[in-house]
Structure 1
């Protein structure tokens, strides 16, 4: 009986006989040696990430169990006392209430105005490219500059808002927008909405342009009105984008700091003291870094809960 040798396995692209080990035997070290240049380029940002993010996060968690004051050499271990102090801190609870107020007003209004502007600028209008740029300009303007500009507009002596309100006889005396306990937070919210509408507009505009035109054509053939097309085609197709903007918006609103620091410094009577500004005071005014780290993890827990709730609501809507 004549036997024939079995055909050899064809070599893959770039392979040479005896040059590569079998796929299952290729170790991680071999892959690193083969792609050493890629790992060399990735090593620097990875090192920076490990030092300034991972290590910083671990060290901050370590601080939560210590009384870490920058002015004292002793850093005694206090266990969970910082967490119990955080729960009992009336100032922190007040900051949470202020932050909830800021978030509950600014995020929905910013998203709603952004959607409205995106719908208008998605129409075939003349100069819409210029208008899109104009609406997006506040987003790329440094936030400190924006806060200083609005602080000047709100000024009770020479601010433009009081000037025109007095000129049109809508008010009898200048309003102290940033010094009045009832007007301070709404004034900060108005400025935040103005600076955030452009971002929502761009995201919604990209999502609108991704909706298939065939859906609208079929709805027109069936006699659907413009409002019906908006409610039953546009809004459902924008649900993932709305979820994204809601999550990003709430996270950003809970971290509001710059406009508070520049415009009100947490006043008047702590009516604009938000969570992040309260953490800033604990760390850099009272030098209680252990307690400030605890407050930061408390903020992280709040954001995590809100994100999970939003994701569950979104998934329940898809079910």
Structure 2
């Protein structure tokens, strides 16, 4: 009688490690139990509000105490897309997003390059950047609101003392001017996060390639443009997506500094949603604006990913 021997590589996972599989199966209920709180949080904080908002966007809800609301389908979306105020708000939000994100990327890259240099006391500069990022947005907004105050703001006092202005200016008095000033205030805080992320990407770049390029006669600008920037593009993509999402749905700094004014000059799409839902009590329309905002953010992220993927393919 002959006995056939099954090769070790042909055996199943259960035949090779029977004890490990039994142990994994016995720990499966415990693993599911440990995951249950996180699943409940995701369901309660993310999925349920998304579903509830979607339902509200198809109803005619005009009061917070309204018991029943008629189903109107896509009427809220149609009313929104035919409203000139919505398109003005969308254009204003896009302008704010492009200006603030682009400026944050440029300044953050410069700060990251500075922090990546072998300087004495480098830890002190990095700590200062972290502290700026850790500053709450509400505190940052109030700080800049006092600095830019048209009557007793520090900026007017400093410029007047230096002889650069003859009289105090209202820095957020004009609609377009206020939008850019608020974007600058947001950039002051958010640039720190961009710098921290890009610094992490810079530290992952090997220094040997810089030394080899320097020996070949490549200058600092050429090394940055042809070596640093291509290697940093994956992290740049992460920064663009994160900051675009945050800038497009900016609300808190707008609420504290300008309340959407003057003349709706700083009313972004998130603040427009707040006004429709809570000030005007048009919860159905506000929910529709919220879903359009999500759609716009998804489109922007898709465009970013396509452009970065195309750029990486061309670089390779």
TM-score using structure 2 length: 0.91
Residue of 10, 15, 22 corresponding to 2:19: 15
Instruction: Specify every segment of 5 or more residues in structure 2 that has no aligned partner in the other structure, as ranges.
Output: none
Query: Where does 1:91-130 land on structure 2 (aligned, <5 Å)?
Result: 91-130=85-124
RMSD, matched Cα: 2.1
Residue of 48, 54, 58 corresponding to 2:51: 58
Residue 78 of structure 1 corresponds to which residue in structure 2? Answer: 72
Q: Kindly state the Cα deviation for residue 52 of structure 1 after the two structures are TM-superposed.
A: 2.1
- SS of residue matched to 2:129: helix
The structure with more radius of gyration: 1
Whether the 8 Å contact between 1:71 and 1:287 is mirrored in structure 2 is: no
Q: Is 1:305 matched with 2:305?
A: no
Residue 27 of structure 1 corresponds to which residue in structure 2? Answer: none
Q: Kindly state the Cα deviation for residue 195 of structure 1 after the two structures are TM-superposed.
A: 0.3
Instruction: Specify every segment of 5 or more residues in structure 1 that has no aligned partner in the other structure, as ranges.
Output: 22-29
Whether the 8 Å contact between 2:174 and 2:265 is mirrored in structure 1 is: no
Q: For each residue in 1:265-300, what CA deviation from the matched residue of structure 2 results, as whole angstroms up to 9, or x when unmatched?
A: 000000000000000111111121111110011111
Stretches of 4+ aligned residues off by more than 6 angstroms: none
Whether the 8 Å contact between 2:254 and 2:260 is mirrored in structure 1 is: yes
Residue of 175, 179, 182 corresponding to 2:173: 179
Residue 139 of structure 1 corresponds to which residue in structure 2? Answer: 133
Distance 1:14 1:312 in 2: 46
Cα pair distance change 1:35/1:182, threshold 3 Å: closer
TM-score using structure 1 length: 0.90
Q: For each residue in 1:149-197, what CA deviation from the matched residue of structure 2 results, as whole angstroms up to 9, or x when unmatched?
A: 1111111121100101111121121111233334311220111110011
Q: Is 1:250 matched with 2:250?
A: no
Residue of 26, 29, 33 corresponding to 1:36: 29
- Looking at secondary structure, tell me which structure has more helix per residue: 2
Query: Where does 1:239-318 land on structure 2 (aligned, <5 Å)?
Result: 239-318=233-312
Q: Kindly state the Cα deviation for residue 14 of structure 1 after the two structures are TM-superposed.
A: 5.9
Cα pair distance change 1:107/1:84, threshold 3 Å: same
Distance 2:22 2:289 in 1: 54
Whether the 8 Å contact between 1:177 and 1:184 is mirrored in structure 2 is: yes
Query: Where does 1:152-171 land on structure 2 (aligned, <5 Å)?
Result: 152-171=146-165
Aligned length: 306
Residue 61 of structure 2 corresponds to which residue in structure 1? Answer: 68
Distance 1:106 1:48 in 2: 32
Distance 1:199 1:279 in 2: 27
